[in-house]
Amino acid sequence: MQTATVILLIIAAVLWGNTEAFSDEAVDCCLTTKDTRIPMQIVASYFHQTTESGCAIAATVFITKKDKKLCAPPEKNTWITKIITHLDKKKKTPQ
């Protein structure tokens, strides 16, 4: 009886650890990027998507003022760099 209890506890501990790997938090990733210029005035913020965060591709994700996510290549073009620079400057200046 004691052996069965120990085995049951070990199985429960293993399964408990595995449930954290399958949490309800889904990773929201860009599956593709588009190299189409985005008007600077519609962009509210951005973040960098990385493969280390569980996504298949790296990308620069722009969030529009209407809360839409637009996926661009990771800072490879001047228009992307200009938007990022503009947003970073806006963030640093108090409003």
Q: Which CATH number do you get for residue 71?
A: 2.40.50.40
Give the count of domains, the chain: 1
**Tens digits of per-residue pLDDT, 52-80?**
999 999 999 999 999 999 999 987 789 99
Most distant pair of Cα atoms in the chain: their distance: 70
Under DSSP, is residue 87 helix (H, G, I), strand (E, B) or coil? helix
Domain membership of residue 6 (yes or no) is no
Specify if 76 maps to a domain. Answer: yes
Query: Residue 57 sits in which domain range?
Result: 27-92
How many other C-beta atoms are found inside a 10 Å radius of the C-beta of residue 24? Answer: 4
Considering the domain boundaries, does residue 3 fall inside one? no
**Angle value at C-alpha 83, between 81 and 88, nearest 5 degrees:** 95
Residue 20, in any domain of the structure: no
User: Would you place residue 12 in the very low, low, confident or very high pLDDT band (cuts 50, 70, 90)?
Assistant: low
- Is residue 64 in some structural domain? yes
**Residue 57, in any domain of the structure:** yes
CA separation for the pair 44, 46 (Å, rounded): 7
pLDDT tens digits, 18-54:
444 455 566 789 999 999 999 999 999 999 999 999 9
Phi, psi (5° rounding) for residue 39?
A: -60, 130
Q: Is 17 domain-assigned?
A: no
Residue 19 is predicted with a pLDDT of 46
pLDDT, residue 76, reads 77
User: Considering the domain boundaries, does residue 44 fall inside one?
Assistant: yes
